[in-house]
A and B are shown apart, each in its own frame.
Chain A
Amino acid sequence: MKTRILIATSEGPSEIQSLVPEDPDVACAVCLNGSTEALPITRGYHAFVRKPTGVIERMTGHKSYRMDVSASITNGESWQLGVYLAHALMEKNELAMQGEAADQVWLVTGAVNARDEAVHSVSHIQQKLNYAADLLKELKAKGAKVGFVLPVEDMPQLENDFDIPAFPVEIASEMVTDARKYKVPTTLDTRKNKQIAFGGVGIVMLAAGSVFAYQTGYLNQFIYQDRPEEVIFAPTKEDLEKAEVKENITPIGPELDSNMGETDTIVAGGWATLPDEDAIASETNVKDMVEVAGQLPQQGEMATQLVKPNQLEDQLSFQLFEMKTADGGSCAGRKYRDTSLTVFEIKAAFDQDWQDDPDVCGLRVLMKNLSDNALAFSISVTSDNQDVIRKRDVLDNDKVVSLDEGQEFTYEMGLSLFRSGNYDLAIVATDANSDVSITKNISAIGWTEEASAKFQ
């Protein structure tokens, strides 16, 4: 059975026409319709394929591919789930390439976390479906099985009545496993046996039946115990030999970094992923993982790190605003036009894609002390592109801010007129007393040529 993958974009569906392994010396490329035109997502695709950042090489063992698509995919990360599924299907010779008959067609959108293959929310779900509706209906009328694959979190965005089944996905690899059996369920919540939810935080999965088996009750003990430094689970050598560790071990550090704090001693680059599903790890595996984590194999010590709930999370609120010129013109020469800046709130912009535009002169973050006490914290902003933030407009990093109860603080950063492409910003507030921190991420999508042309 062959499946055709269509990447849902906000400008219409783009079919994955071919996926071909290239010489390992060649960087991965995404091209349009077999031409030599490399699409803007090429760099992102390369990173998505290659170790250590990528997931595809981990899955297939090969590190270079060329993918051809039928329509341009310009930016964002919502292509990742479709590409992931296409690679997985190709490995089983089940991907319908251009010219091949397909038994089913999936319109896919969703971002994939390279670390644990969790599927992340994306935006414009309904718009993407609307653009693909005619094509899907046509395919369906011709007898093809048609489905819309999307992140679990994005189900509420759906309001369609297209009579096309939606397949919400939580973990990409499990979607693949299931898809290979051709029993795509309506929900995929298979993580529940592997992950313990605590305060909205995903915590490391470890198999039951050993000292590694965390139970919610135990976690609660850790949280509330009076002497958190006590080592509760120090596994013996025998315990290690008995331990089963399944794949997809979620790194503790990054998960905790924004929610729990106190990660420095736990994580040095995340935990290793074990090779096969349901594989039983040897003692060496476990020790390797522990070495990677830079921590002794004493779960109690790890738990010690977990006992400090991130109070800052509840005490400090963040709001994000765009600053645009009041006259609607370009940011360049604004002062000479004697126009002021107008501030617009960006709804739910943190940890989601935000469309940057050339008329955005800067960003403003409004922080408010929601607690009953005074708060002292330091603020820093980092970006993966050093040319994005106008240095002269930014407060010194690590500036310490003190806010009384209910008091607000405004942090403004001017954006460079010459920025281009996608970039990420991370705003980190660190409690001056406990070193607990909150990170607010902004994933900016670079502006389009049309938007840029307006100011040229």
Chain B
Amino acid sequence: MSWNLLSEDEKRRAEERFTGLSIVDNIRQQMLAESRERRYGFGDVYQFATNAHIEMTSGLQKALKQDDKLQSALDQLLSERVVYQFPRAAAASSGNLESREGDGFSIQIKHSRAQSGQVYIILKMEDAFQQEPTAITLKSGEGQYLKKLLPLSVDGVFQFLAEEDDEFVKTLRDVASEVFLNS
């Protein structure tokens, strides 16, 4: 059948059909792309470890749980790229920590008198460090990563408020968690 032999009405209907099929095809391709799981790699953990503004996503968290190598790479990057890494709390410690002491750094959690249920997280830099941290990253005992941007420091002290039941505060208090200060 030749296109030229078709009537105007047949041509119009054929065009409409092609357009419809094309739209369906596009939608199908899009759905396929979305359903395909994103693959996370070294680039993603590098971004998370080195860029204070990149937050942990559920996808990356899931990938870390499934891929030990990826998790090791992140841990190594965090250790190498931090301004400071707090040691794990002493083994004798139990229950909730209200402070962590490091070499030249300390973190305190103080209850707000003004708002019950809120706490101040106070990070003090006791020595003159060449590089100020811009974010604080926690790794919980279960391997969950949490990050918060730090406000500007005042006289070497970074302070921010959080709800006491916030996951970040719970993790910070947990003796099993690790604390990294990122540049």
Contacts and interface: CB of A to CB of B under 8 A. Distances in A.
Interface of A: 18, 20-23, 25-27, 29, 31, 34, 36-38, 42-43, 46-47, 66, 68, 421
A376 to B, nearest CB: 40
A66 B122 contact: no
28 contacts: A18-B114, A20-B113, A20-B114, A22-B112, A22-B113, A22-B114, A23-B110, A23-B113, A23-B120, A25-B110, A26-B120, A26-B159, A27-B159, A29-B159, A29-B161, A31-B115, A31-B161, A34-B115, A36-B118, A36-B161, A36-B163, A38-B151, A38-B161, A43-B154, A66-B112, A66-B113, A68-B114, A421-B152
Contacts of B113: 20-23, 66
Given A36-B162, A66-B112, A26 B122 contact: yes
Looking at chain A's contact residues, the main secondary structure is: mixed
B160 interface: yes
Nearest to A23: B110
Contacts of A21: 113
Nearest to B118: A36
A47 B115 CA distance: 22
A166 B115 CA distance: 35
Interface in B22-50: none
A47 B163 CA distance: 25
A43 B152 contact: yes
A26 B152 CA distance: 15
Contacts of A26: 110, 112, 120, 122, 159
Contacts of A68: 114
Interface in B93-152: 108, 110, 112-115, 118, 120, 122, 151-152
A149 B91 CA distance: 59
- For chain B, which range describes its interface: under 10, 10 to 19, 20 to 34, or 35 or more residues? 10 to 19
A378 B19 CA distance: 75
B70 interface: no
A18 B122 CA distance: 22
Nearest to A68: B114
Contacts of A43: 152, 154
Given A31-B115, A36-B163, A66-B114, 12 more contacts: A22-B113, A25-B122, A26-B110, A26-B112, A26-B122, A27-B122, A27-B159, A31-B161, A38-B151, A47-B154, A66-B115, A421-B152
Contacts of A34: 115
Nearest to B155: A27
Interface of B: 108, 110, 112-115, 118, 120, 122, 151-152, 154, 157, 159-163
A358 B162 CA distance: 32
A113 to B, nearest CB: 21
Q: Which 5 A-B pairs have the closest CB atoms?
A: A20-B114, A36-B161, A66-B114, A27-B159, A26-B120
A25 B120 CA distance: 10
A31 B162 CA distance: 12
A36 B163 CA distance: 7
Given A22-B112, A36-B118, A38-B151, A27 B161 contact: no
A18 B161 CA distance: 16
Contacts of B159: 26-27, 29
A20 B112 CA distance: 10
A21 B113 CA distance: 7
A421 B152 CA distance: 11
A20 B114 CA distance: 6
Contacts of B115: 31, 34, 66
Contacts of B112: 22, 26, 66
B163 to A, nearest CB: 6
* Interface-centre pick from B113, B122, B157 (highest chain A CB count, 10 A): B113
A310 B94 CA distance: 68
A222 B113 CA distance: 55
Contacts of A27: 122, 154, 157, 159
Contacts of B118: 36
A230 B163 CA distance: 66
Nearest to A34: B115
Contacts of B151: 38, 42
A37 B161 CA distance: 7
* Interface-centre pick from A18, A38, A68 (highest chain B CB count, 10 A): A38
B135 to A, nearest CB: 16
A287 to B, nearest CB: 31
A54 to B, nearest CB: 12
Contacts of A42: 151
A27 B151 CA distance: 12
B165 to A, nearest CB: 12
A36 B152 CA distance: 16
A21 to B, nearest CB: 7
B161 to A, nearest CB: 4
A422 to B, nearest CB: 11
Contacts of B152: 43, 421
A34 B110 CA distance: 16
A42 B120 CA distance: 14
Contacts of A36: 118, 160-163
Contacts of B160: 36, 38
Nearest to A18: B114
A433 to B, nearest CB: 40
A46 B155 CA distance: 11
B139 to A, nearest CB: 23
Contacts of A37: 161
Nearest to B120: A26
A126 B31 CA distance: 56
A72 to B, nearest CB: 15
A48 to B, nearest CB: 12
Nearest to A21: B113
